[in-house]
């Protein structure tokens, strides 16, 4: 396929709109040009604010995330988070012991949990604990530590020490970013450290993230994709990301 410079640029932008993510090597093969040429094309398009480059790929949105308070984030993509939360709640079984991490999507999960038998919940989220405290048959273990006000959750060595003594069936983990190459991320390094311990304490790791989190990166890495079992997201997630999860052996539920 031989193309002129304007044709290449249009092809790249169309591909980006369709997939939400493009790769330098794939583009060079599809357009029959060198990777150097593609990198120059991406640099040109980035300078004109059409895309953002990141380690051999490009996305339509800035892949790096700025931290925002939980009360602001709760107002964003509410319908999608509710659908994700309902799907996640349906996975909870009688007499489960689960970990709920922090973030607005896992707070929404707490609102959708309807226990029909004894359920034990370990959580870092103050809001999730308060919501679940209304149900008399749910036992809640609130992790202790320093309060992270932006997420209304706890962090630090007290919470980490508590997790070292626990083993649970499932972890419901929020994320600020899901990048096929870099993995699962959050904006806070102390929260990432706590999340790593949560993963070790759980038999099954389920990530709850709406489609805007794909192709993005927070400041701190939580884990590689290989360490999670399932992602529950909305139906707007680009097919290219679903394929990456499938290649990694991760179940992706779109709601």
Structure tokens at 197: 């311990």
DSSP codes of every residue in 196-246: HHHHHHEEEEEEE--GGGBT-B-SEEEE-GGG--EEEE-TTS-HHHHHHHH
pLDDT of residue 68: 56
57-59/52-54 β-pairing: antiparallel
Average pLDDT over residues 130-147: 94
Q: Quick one: which of 100, 85, 98 has its CA closest to 233?
A: 85
pLDDT in tens, 48-77: 888 888 777 787 766 665 555 655 655 578
Average pLDDT over residues 222-243: 94
CB 122 within 8 A of CB 144: no
pLDDT of residue 52: 81
Least confident of 75-84, 98-107, 228-237: 75-84
pLDDT of residue 71: 58
Read off the pTM: 0.75
146-148/153-155 β-pairing: antiparallel
CA distance 93 to 106: 17
Average pLDDT over residues 181-187: 91
Average pLDDT over residues 120-148: 95
| Start-to-end Cα distance in the chain | 37
Average pLDDT over residues 24-31: 91
Name all domains of the chain by residue range, CATH numbers in brackets. Answer: 5-59 (1.10.10.10), 70-254 (3.40.50.1360)
Structure tokens at 137: 């048959």
């Amino acid at each position: 396929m031989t193309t002129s410079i304007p044709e290449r640029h249009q092809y790249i932008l169309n591909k980006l709109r369709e997939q939400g993510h493009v790769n330098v090597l794939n583009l060079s093969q599809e357009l029959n040009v060198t990777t150097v040429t593609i990198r120059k094309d991406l640099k040109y398009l980035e300078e004109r604010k059409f895309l953002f480059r990141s380690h051999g790929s490009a996305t339509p949105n800035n892949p790096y995330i700025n931290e925002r308070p939980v009360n602001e984030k709760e107002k964003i993509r509410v319908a999608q988070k509710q659908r994700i939360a309902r799907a996640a709640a349906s996975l909870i079984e009688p007499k489960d012991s689960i970990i709920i991490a922090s973030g607005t999507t896992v707070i929404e999960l707490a609102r959708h949990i309807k226990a029909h038998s004894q359920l034990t919940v370990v959580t870092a989220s103050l809001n999730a604990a308060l919501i679940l405290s209304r149900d008399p048959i749910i036992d809640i273990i609130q992790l202790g530590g320093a309060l992270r006000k932006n997420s209304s959750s706890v962090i630090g060595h007290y919470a980490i020490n508590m997790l070292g003594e626990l083993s649970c069936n499932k972890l419901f983990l929020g994320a600020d970013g899901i990048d096929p190459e870099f993995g699962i991320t959050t904006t806070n390094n102390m929260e990432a450290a706590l999340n790593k311990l949560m993963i070790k304490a759980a038999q099954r790791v389920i990530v709850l993230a709406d489609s805007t989190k794909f192709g993005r990166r927070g400041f701190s890495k939580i884990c590689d994709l290989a360490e999670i079992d399932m992602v529950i997201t909305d139906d707007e997630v680009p097919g290219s990301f679903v394929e990456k999860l499938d290649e990694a052996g991760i179940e992706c539920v779109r709601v």
